[in-house]
Amino acid sequence: MRRLIEIALCGVMAALVCVATLLIQIPTPPTRGYINVGDAMIMVSALTFGPIVGGFAGGVGSALADILGGYAHWAPFTLIIKGVEGIIAGLIARKWGSRSSILLAWIIGCGEMVLGYFTVEALLYGVGPALVEVPGNTFQMIVGGVVGIPISIAINRRMRLD
């Protein structure tokens, strides 16, 4: 039964990540990418439900948003970068299970996202254009924490009460 719930959560959270990512898209022409707020739902997925749901939702939900939003050329990179983001955040949050581990999970998970995109962009477009997108990806990171952490804490509290 637990496995069935985890599979359902993967699908639901991937859909929520996709919708949140499509909700706001700010194009960044130098890298042919865009800034979005989907990391908030990746953090909710990872911090609340762990590395499997966080990794699946982050990777598949974000890659699907790339495809549906007209940025299909980024989907393979996004699948890996955002999937690893969710896995890292979920693993750290699960391992230590404290409030401070949630902050650490957010910083390291989203930090991997900023570094991952910078690396790919630098290889594809050069360091200059990659640097242009660092502030936008850092914005995504901040939104991921400011929105995702309180929602995750609220969901976790509610799940314990029932």
Domain ranges, residue 128: 2-154
Q: How many residues does the chain have?
A: 162
E strand map for the chain: 26-28, 33-35
**Distances, alpha carbon 29 to alpha carbons 22, 47, 143, in Å:** 17, 32, 21
| Non-local CB neighbours of 8 within 8 Å, separated by 6+ positions | none
- pLDDT category of residue 102 using cuts at 50, 70 and 90: very high
In a domain, 105, yes or no: yes
| CATH number, residue 130 | 1.10.1760.20
In a domain, 133, yes or no: yes
Domain count, the chain: 1
Q: What is the pLDDT of residue 56?
A: 98
The answer to whether residue 99 scores a pLDDT higher than 80 is no
Residue 139 burial class via C-beta count within 10 angstroms: exposed 0-12, middle 13-18, buried 19 and up: middle
The answer to whether residue 35 scores a pLDDT higher than 70 is yes
In a domain, 161, yes or no: no
**Distances, alpha carbon 123 to alpha carbons 29, 98, 112, 116, 127, in Å:** 16, 37, 16, 11, 8
In a domain, 76, yes or no: yes
Residue 39, by phi and psi: left (phi above 0), alpha (psi -120 to 50) or beta? alpha
Q: What is the pLDDT of residue 156?
A: 87
**Distances, alpha carbon 79 to alpha carbons 17, 25, 55, 66, 86, in Å:** 12, 17, 9, 9, 11
pLDDT tens figures, 136-161:
999 999 999 999 999 999 998 888 64
In a domain, 162, yes or no: no
